[in-house]
Amino acid sequence: MNAKLTLRMNVGMIRTAKSEASRRGKSVSQIVGEFFDSLASGQRQESKLPPITTSLLGILKDRGVRESDYRKHLREKYS
């Protein structure tokens, strides 16, 4: 049995939701329903990374590398 649910959102968010629903060929209600289903089942669809990227995750953890080090590297590389 389906029942009506009213959501209040700002106009911009509503436009975005309708646009995304249209792009996916679904209704906003379907998308919201799928979201709530995923919360209830504890399944969150995480983006799947390529195997090479997955293998590199966390490789620099606790190595003392900071974001500023990376920014410095990029400045030197592209200067």
Range of the domain at 45: 11-77
Report angle CA 5, 6, 12 to the nearest 5 degrees.
135
State how far the Cα of 21 lies from the Cα of 72, in Å rounded to an integer: 41
pTM score, whole prediction: 0.49
Q: Is residue 3 part of a domain?
A: no
Task: Give me the phi and psi of 42, to 5 degrees please.
Answer: 75, 10
Can you give the pLDDT at residue 37?
87
Q: Is residue 53 part of a domain?
A: yes
Can you give the pLDDT at residue 50?
86
| Residue-wise DSSP of 57-70 | TTTTTTTT--HHHH
Q: Is residue 1 part of a domain?
A: no
How many domains is the chain built from? 1
Can you give the pLDDT at residue 45?
56
Mean pLDDT per 10-residue segment, the chain (79 residues): 91 94 93 87 68 85 87 93
Q: Is residue 6 part of a domain?
A: no
Q: Is residue 65 part of a domain?
A: yes
State how far the Cα of 31 lies from the Cα of 37, in Å rounded to an integer: 10
Query: Which amino acid is present at 44?
Result: R
